[in-house]
Amino acid sequence: MNDVRKVVLKQGREKSLRNRHPWIFSGAVDSFPEFQNGEVLPVHSSSGEFLAKAYFHAQNSISGRVLTFLDEPISQAVTRRLLEAIQLRKGLFDPDVTNCYRLVNAEGDGLAGLVIDIYDDVAVIQISTYGMEALKPLIVQILNAQLRLQGIYEKSQSAARRQEGLSNFSGLLSGECPQEVIVKENGTLFVVDIEEGQKTGLFLDQRQMRQLTQTLSSGRRVLNCFSYTAGFSLFALKGGALSVTSIDSSQKACDCARANTHLNPTLKNRHEIVCEDVFGFLKNKELPFNLIILDPPAFAKKKQDVNEACRGYKEINRLCLQKMPPSSYLLTSSCSHFIDENLFGQLIFQAAVEANREAVICSSHIQALDHPVSLFHPEGRYLKSLLLYVK
């Protein structure tokens, strides 16, 4: 290893790396060599001790993202991380029942800037950083060597990517990939639009909460707000809901919900799909539903959005709590990274106070097993959910 080309931290700023946190902030760095954005460099303490290897970006406040805490070739580190991710998912799912899952969950699998979702025999990858962009050929090579895949499709479209100075990109990387793939989640069928669907095509991180919804739905009238693929709706219908109303402001989402319902024909007679703004619906309609699901898109996509997002979260929860009949359940979620669990809980508390309703927390979010969060990177826990019983 060439000791000249290394990143050196300021004195006393190595503690986070010793604690295996994968981010290196620019303010912690004493000196950089000349480098290209995305280049992997060794990181040393001020006393010269090797700490990690990370890829770097000169213009970001998070200037480095660690790929390994070992002094090893970076191709070896990435291969090891991917093999560990594959091993973790083995045995989690019966492929005859569930054949869609998250294979790589960014920092949760030690691969910051990379998400890989598997839909049957198609892998969809998202890359959000220069460092992962440079490693893409290696990632594709390893995936093809380790998994039986029909194709690998990249769908990298995010604000984080644009902040890196990378253009959005979508396209086939390997093999063949149909635009639509039909997959199974716990025996329920969904059509995944690989090219046009949100994110990689299906929100896999709410799998456990959809199962919880199924167990609660028997004999209930269910409202699923921001329904997108109608995942919660279909599991509510499977659980014996008397009726389910799915509402989304996107006509494309409503068409997707309708298609998924028709894939599961025993469920379709009790499912109403409404294309309407959710805020307007909650304000203007009676809510005779004794199970309501609020799983909105991220209201705070950047830090400056937090105040407005807080108002939005509080308002939709207040309206539901105010109008729901007694002895009802409210399952409410936030996927906004900048709204942490404490703040989200405070917002729901304020909503209940303003609605003048008494409620208790029966459960909090149940993490999907294929979405691990690193013990050393709690920032990876972005999704929050509370199940409330409204008295």
355 and 226 assigned to the same domain: yes
Give the sign of the dihedral formed by CA 22, CA 129, CA 383, CA 181.
Answer: negative
60 and 151 assigned to the same domain: no
As a whole number of angstroms, the distance between CA 280 and CA 79 comes to 49
CATH of the domain at 161: 3.30.750.80
The candidate with the shortest Cα–Cα distance to 215, out of 234, 233, 235, 189, is 235
Number of domains composing the chain: 3
The answer as to whether 31 is a domain residue is yes
Where are the alpha helices (H) located in the chain, listed in sequence order? Answer: 15-18, 74-89, 130-146, 159-163, 207-216, 231-238, 251-263, 278-284, 306-323, 341-355
- State CA 285 to chain mean position distance: 31
Give the sign of the dihedral formed by CA 162, CA 166, CA 170, CA 174.
Answer: negative
Say what the pLDDT of residue 237 is.
97
Q: Dump pLDDT digits (tens) for 197-238.
A: 887 888 999 999 999 999 999 999 999 999 999 999 999 999
Q: Dump pLDDT digits (tens) for 236-247.
A: 999 999 999 999
CATH of the domain at 15: 2.30.130.10
Say what the pLDDT of residue 221 is.
98
The answer as to whether 161 is a domain residue is yes
Q: What is the mean pLDDT of the chain?
A: 95
171 and 59 assigned to the same domain: no
63 and 175 assigned to the same domain: no
* Model confidence, pTM: 0.94
Say what the pLDDT of residue 196 is.
87
177 and 224 assigned to the same domain: no
Cβ-contact 390, 326 below 8 angstroms: yes
What range defines the domain where residue 136 resides?
74-183
Residue 291 has pLDDT above 70, yes or no: yes
Residue 68 has pLDDT above 90, yes or no: yes
The answer as to whether 1 is a domain residue is no
Say what the pLDDT of residue 300 is.
84
**Listed residues 30, 51, 68: the one ending a domain:** 68
Q: What is the mean pLDDT of residues 326-338?
A: 95
| Radius of gyration for the alpha carbons in the chain, expressed in angstroms and rounded | 22
**Listed residues 133, 151, 183: the one ending a domain:** 183
61 and 95 assigned to the same domain: no
The answer as to whether 219 is a domain residue is yes
Say what the pLDDT of residue 2 is.
46
281 and 383 assigned to the same domain: yes
Residue 269 has pLDDT above 90, yes or no: no
Residue 169 has pLDDT above 70, yes or no: yes
Residue 319 has pLDDT above 50, yes or no: yes
Least confident stretch, 177-186, 198-207, 219-228, 337-346 = 198-207
As a whole number of angstroms, the distance between CA 68 and CA 236 comes to 43
Say what the pLDDT of residue 198 is.
80
Which strand ranges, in their side-by-side order, compose the sheet holding 29-31?
Answer: 23-25, 62-68, 50-56, 40-44, 7-9, 29-31
The length of the chain, given as a count of residues: 391
Least confident stretch, 1-5, 105-109, 290-294 = 1-5
Cβ-contact 125, 155 below 8 angstroms: yes
64 and 94 assigned to the same domain: no
341 and 222 assigned to the same domain: yes
Token reading at 197: 């669907």
Q: How far is CA 315 from CA 36, 228, 256, 348, 360, in A?
A: 46, 20, 27, 9, 19
As a whole number of angstroms, the distance between CA 300 and CA 308 comes to 8
The answer as to whether 110 is a domain residue is yes
**Listed residues 68, 88, 105: the one ending a domain:** 68
Q: Please compute, for residue 158, the number of CA atoms within 13 A of its CA located in the half-sphere on the CB side.
A: 19
Residue 132 has pLDDT above 80, yes or no: yes
Q: Which residues are CB-neighbours of 89 under 8 A, at least 6 positions away?
A: 101, 103, 370
As a whole number of angstroms, the distance between CA 348 and CA 339 comes to 12
Percent of the chain whose predicted confidence (pLDDT) is above 90:
91
The answer as to whether 189 is a domain residue is no
172 and 131 assigned to the same domain: yes
Cβ atoms within 10 A of the Cβ of 202, count? 27
DSSP string, 271-334: EEEEES-HHHHHHHS----SEEEE-PPPS-SSGGGHHHHHHHHHHHHHHHHHHSPSSEEEEEEE
- Active site residue: 100, 177, 335, 362, which one? 335
Residue 4 has pLDDT above 80, yes or no: no
Is 320 tagged catalytic?
Answer: no
Q: Which residues are CB-neighbours of 66 under 8 A, at least 6 positions away?
A: 17, 22, 23, 24, 43, 52, 53, 54, 112
CATH of the domain at 294: 3.40.50.150
Say what the pLDDT of residue 1 is.
43
